Structures are given as C-alpha cells and as structure tokens.
A and B are shown apart, each in its own frame.
Chain A
Amino acid sequence: MTRTRTRTLGAVSVLGGIALWELLSRTVFDPLFLPPPSAIWTRFLELAADGSLPRDLGVSARTYLLGLAFAIVGGVVAGVAMASSAPIRDLLDPWVSALNATPVIALAPLFVLMLGLGIASKVVICAIVMVFPILINTYAGFSTTDPHLVEVARAYAATRWQNYVKIKLPMALPMVLAGLRLAAAHGLVGVVVSELFGAKAGIGLLIQSSAETFDTRGLFVGVVVLGVVGVVITYALAAVERRVGRWRVVQRQEGTA
C-alpha cells in the first residue's frame, strides 16, 4: 500500500517536473540556455542515429569499467592488507587519509598532459577517484570482523586463505559493497571530468564540444544520459547490497527486539 503510493508520488513528481521544465523553457527561459525536454529528446534521437552517442557512451563506459576494475583490485588488496597487518596499516594510513581528503580530480589535467588524450589518462583518473572509498570501506569491513567467528574458523583448522574467503569476506562484504556504491558515483564524475580536459570521444567530450558550439541540447543529452546511467548503477548496487547484507539486517532487528 505504502509502496504503491511511494511509487505513484515519485512518478507524478518526475513527470510533473518534466512538464514544468517544458513549460518554463517555452515561456520564461531562453531555450538556448534551457532547452525544453522535447528538444533534448529530438537531439538525443539525432545523436543516437548518427552513431556518435553510442560511440561516446561506449568509450566512456570502457574507461569507467577499466578504472573500476583497477580500483576494486587495488582497493581490496590494500584494504585487506591494512586490516591484516599493523605495519602495513601504519605505513599506508597517512597517505590514504591525505589523498582521500585531497580532491585528486584536480590532477586530471596533469594526467592528460602526462598520458595523452587517449584512454590511459582517463582510466588512471577514474581509478584514483574510485579506489579510496573501496579501500577505506574494505579496511573498515575487514578490521571489524567478529573475532568469535574467526576463532570458529581456527578451531576447525581452516587455512589462512579459507579464513579470509569463507569467514572474513562474507562478514566484510556489506561494507565493501557500500564503498563500491560510493566509488561508482565518484567514478561517473571522474569519467566526465577527465574527458573535459581533452579527449577523442566520450560523454565528457560530447558535453564539452556541445557547449563550445552552443549546442545546449547536445550538452543536456550528455548530462541526462549520465544521470540515467548513475541511477541505474546505484539501484543495481543497492539491490546487490540488500541481497548480500540480508542476514545483517535480520541480526540487527533481533538485537533490538
């Protein structure tokens, strides 16, 4: 009942907002700066038809996924290492804390200068912005595992590897996934910003070149596509988190009952 109402109200809000936008663009605002949704849709179909939007999307998606892959591997390995070894933690912690607090995205132009207009510079930027949430949450997840359950593994003569994979990982996974969800959002910003500073293709380039030619409809196509992708990724990851973390919710409920 509540769920249906939530959905209905949500849909009404979105459709109403789009209608209001259409109305304002046609009456109050200059359609050059705020093109109406109908015009953006037309431009979307044009860009999709001439093949440039699929290409841009493909390039950005590849950059994003490569960056994510590096970030997951690096973040999980470093996070687990920090949680398992006090010396490693003490060595890495100042750097992780400092770099996490620094807006490394500001280094994007530098990486483009260093690594060129191709995909390499963008992948590096994406990986850097995505690695910290994953690393920090992996570290937190693996360092707060229940010692009682870890002892069960020891008592049943588990190897070190089995202890990590079968006991610690499932316990830490909900936290790692929460970090992944944060990273996924950071990564979208990373892709676009990296492409703004010079690229051969990509959604960021679409936005930037559209702005240069006063094609604000094209600019909005890029932004809306990003928004939709962002929403889809967030929903998908939230669904995975719910599935994986179900036992935790149940435990918490039992704890408060």
Chain B
Amino acid sequence: MSDASAKLRLENLGKTFRREGSEVEALHGIDLDVPAGEFVSVVGASGCGKSTLLRLVDGLIPATTGTVTLHGRPVRGPGQDRALVFQQDRLLPWRTVARNVGLGLEFHGLSKKECAAKAAELLDLVGLPGFADAYPHELSGGMRQRVNIARALAVDPDVLLMDEPFAALDGQTRELMQGELLRIWAQRAKTVLFVTHQVDEAVYLSDRIVVLTARPGRVRAVLDVTLPRPRTLAVKRSPEFARHVEHVWSLIEGEVRQSMERELLAGRRDETRSREGGEHGRTVG
C-alpha cells in the first residue's frame, strides 16, 4: 500500500513517563502506516509499551515525540473516529447491557431511543440478542467482553483499538471470541490495531504483525501474514500457520532473553552497550 492511502499513521512516536524525577522511556521512534481496513497486531515482551501505544493512538495520553495522524489530521485527544476495547471489560455495573453498549452514543448526544436501537443491533452482531436488559454481573467473562466490543463498535469508529481483549478469558472462550472477532471485522471493515502477547492469536487474526523490542519499545520487525482469508480454526493446525508463529516467536524470544541479560549485566555498562550494538545489527524488516 502506498503512503497516500494510509489511514492511520504513526510517525516517530515516542513516550517517556516522568514520575518524581525519574524518567522511563516506554516507546521510541515508532513509525507505522496502517491502511484502511487492515488488521494489525502489535506483539512484544511484556512491558514493551504495547498498551501505551494504543493509549497514544486513542489520545488518552499525549505523545512525548512524534505524531499520530488519522485521515491526515493529527490526533489530539479521544474522538469518535477511534474506539478502545479495554483488556478488562470495564462495563458500568449499574447499567444494563444495552445502556452500556449505548454509552459512547449517549456521550455524543444521541437520544435514548437511538442508543437503544443501535445497542440492539450490535448485541445481535456480537451474538448476545436478548441480553439487552441483563446487568453485567449476570454475564460470563466472555459475554462481558462481547459487550465491551459492542460498546466500541456502537460509536462506529474508523479504527478499533483492542488492548489484549481476550487475555482474561479461558482458552476455549478465547478461540471462540477470535473467530467471532474475525467475522465481525469482515462485516464491518474496520481498521484494527490489536495488542496481544499471544503470538498465535496475532497470527490467526492479522494481516500484519508489528513486533516491538523490549523497553523502550521500538519497531523490531513488521511481518506480513500470508495465510488466506477467511480463516477458520483449522488454519491454526496448518504448517503455514506454525511457520508464522515460529518466526514471530524467534523475534520475541530473543527480546525476552536480551532484556533478562541486560538486567543481569546492569552493573557492567560496557558489555550492555556492545550487546545493544549487536542487537541493532540483527534488526529485521
């Protein structure tokens, strides 16, 4: 895809957290173009700033360096064109399922009737028809996560930002939800930025996978997933799938080992520095 058609664009994006005099650089110099309708996953060792990346794109926190642009306009704060699916479902416990789904629309000033109608439509889409009047505590974890996704889709965003949405679910529910997400994505044609620490999940869902280095997170590699769509669960047992997973794993495994070694060598700066030099030489993509 050419740059012109890129819908979501991250340029030299960086974030440094300052707290009580100390500084932690979470992300450094992230460049990424995501064309409209693409499904992109972001993977990396834990603590590499994956969630920070999503929060920057959503505009919940300001960037320290660089910019996020959507349709060529810089992102300065949360907006209707993006919606964040949180890792924990974060549903409002005092609201019914339908009123949770309609929350974003309510904020945008839609009438109760319009919110309810849209909520009903989306509950159908995520496979929860008939649960409009239930309360979150009456639902299972998987069902709550569907409501969380429905809430994000309700505002009809151009970009769906998903922060490890299935991490808290059990294995079977997670597989089911992955399939559901692909079905919904195919229907709604949203651009998706999906953060996960599960390599197989990233391979199964994505068009492209962005591998981040350990802190500060930089783009280590961007891989194309060449598995044909539509993908069924059977894809996960194909050698092609295994090859993709292996490739991503090899990149991340190295990262994890390096960050561990770096901690061990924290007192010996020279060695650490030379290791970082070596790492740079091996960067893929």
Contacts and interface: CB of A to CB of B under 8 A. Distances in A.
A170 B155 CA distance: 22
A149 B93 CA distance: 10
A186 to B, nearest CB: 28
A156 interface: yes
Interface in B89-109: 90, 92-94, 103-104, 106-108
Interface string A155-173: 1111100100011001100
Contacts of B86: 148, 152, 155
Given A151-B60, A162-B107, A166-B106, A156 B88 contact: no
A153 B107 contact: yes
A157 B93 contact: no
Contacts of A158: 107
B58 interface: yes
Interface residues of B, number: 23
A211 to B, nearest CB: 49
By secondary structure, the B interface counts as loop
A4 interface: no
Contacts of B155: 156
A157 B90 contact: no
Interface in A122-172: 148-149, 151-159, 162, 166-167, 170-171
Contacts, number: 56
B241 interface: no
Contact of B60 (A149, A155, A162, A254): A155
B135 A247 contact: yes
Given A152-B86, A254-B137, A157 B79 contact: yes
A156 B110 CA distance: 13
A202 B107 CA distance: 48
Interface of A: 148-149, 151-159, 162, 166-167, 170-171, 247-248, 250-251, 254
19 contacts: A149-B90, A151-B60, A151-B90, A152-B103, A155-B60, A155-B83, A155-B86, A156-B78, A156-B83, A156-B107, A157-B78, A157-B79, A157-B80, A157-B104, A157-B108, A162-B107, A170-B92, A248-B93, A250-B135
